[in-house]
Amino acid sequence: MIWQYAIKFPKSRWVIIRATVPTLEATTMVTFQNLLDFGLSNDVVDYDSKHRIVTLYNDSKIIFMSESFDIDKDLNRFKGLEINGAGFDEINEINENTFLKIIERAGSWQHSPNCPIKILATCNPASNWVKEKFYDKWKLNNLPKGWAYIPAKITDNPHLSSDYISSLNLLPKYQYKVFVEGEWDIQLKTGGEFYKCFELDKHVGQCNYNPDLPLHISFDENVNPYLPCGIFQIHKITDLNSKVTSYEVQMIDEIAAKTPNNTIFGICKEIKRKYPNHISGMFIYGDATASKEDTKVEKGFNFFRLILEELKQYKPSLRVSPSNPSVIMRGNWINTLFEKQIGNISITFGEQCNLAINDFVNLKEAADGTKLKEMETDPKTKVRYQKVGHFSDLFDYFMCNAFASEFLAYQKGSISFNVKLGKNLSKNSY
């Protein structure tokens, strides 16, 4: 697009930016050279390789620059830059302040009559300011006027060879979703995670509601950025030959009730909407500290009493401990379940539970071994809230109470490892 506008509007000036000089030289400039080899060289009358400035036959110029934020955090290299517009190659590697600086400079060049201000940014899905500023707003149909988000996949490129496209199938399932299918709502592990043994390819799959099994519903008493609720089912499987019993834990649904529905009444209304005819039982779990009487509601009521009242048509049973188990101990146990399925307990998160999955991917471990509570401030409401970890907390509460005896055995060091033999299996509700 930048090249087309440079040709269409004589004497216009454009800049193309990559994060560092090495990546600029190894990627963007290589692509530029390939374009010249394909025939665009006829448009070029001069190339200043020292300053990376291309001059076209109509006196338009394209400047290739690196952000080099590590050595120029004040963005001095862009101050005074006069341009009509810009292109960002892999903007997910660029700092937001750089993007804002280029917006400030775009349109400052006044020597190309009628040339519009245009900024083009390309990137792979990422979990940073780019996702929040572009993809999340596009998904909510809330992009500012004049902005556009255009989804594109590798397979949309007609110039790629079939061998290359086929080779992408060798990628792990969720890397394929991110880098090939352009899936923004699934993020990949980067290191330092609290749930070290959680693996996307192993612990995420298809999970469907089974009306014959009880619903296990867990809450985290939290309202910002949403009131979270996780819905689980447990499949009890007995091997008819060995008599060994195993349990398949499945997260079938997640609800993130945002304002104005981030109330007990709002979230319970959503549960009733989704499961109107459920008659196979319901268990309620959550943060033990929410059991205290809440002065914000009628005397004698608390968080769970209100939930039980709102969901009384399901005849729910409350499974909440007097106090929450140690964060480190329950984290070690759940990590061991992820890794070894001790106690014959396997865990799968439904592919649709993106917020919960991202919690397990993104939640980091603090220096003391607990969960790192990274905070963020809502730019509109100025309310501070914990960025990730709400769904992982409610999952902890559910697991530690649904499998209380197994968790206790782990703490005492008396876990026994059962071996599953044979193929004759019998599934029972749990």
**CA dihedral defined by 299, 302, 305, 306, rounded to 10 degrees?**
90
Residue 43 has pLDDT above 80, yes or no: yes
| Domain locations along the chain | 2-123, 200-429
User: Measured between alpha carbons, how far is 430 from 427 in angstroms, rounded to an integer?
Assistant: 9
Per residue in 291-313, pLDDT (tens digit) is 654 433 444 458 899 999 999 99
More reliable by pLDDT, 345 or 140: 345
Query: Can you name the CATH fold of 2-123?
Result: Rossmann fold (3.40.50)
Whether the per-residue pLDDT at 171 is higher than 90: the answer is no
Evaluate if pTM is beyond 0.85.
no
Distance between CA atoms of residues 249 and 269, nearest Å:
25
Gyration radius of the chain over CA positions: 27
Q: Which residues pair with 256 in a beta bridge?
A: 228
379 pLDDT band, cuts 50/70/90, is low
User: Which is nearest to 14 in space by CA: 61, 78, 75?
Assistant: 61
CATH class of this structure's domain 200-429: alpha beta
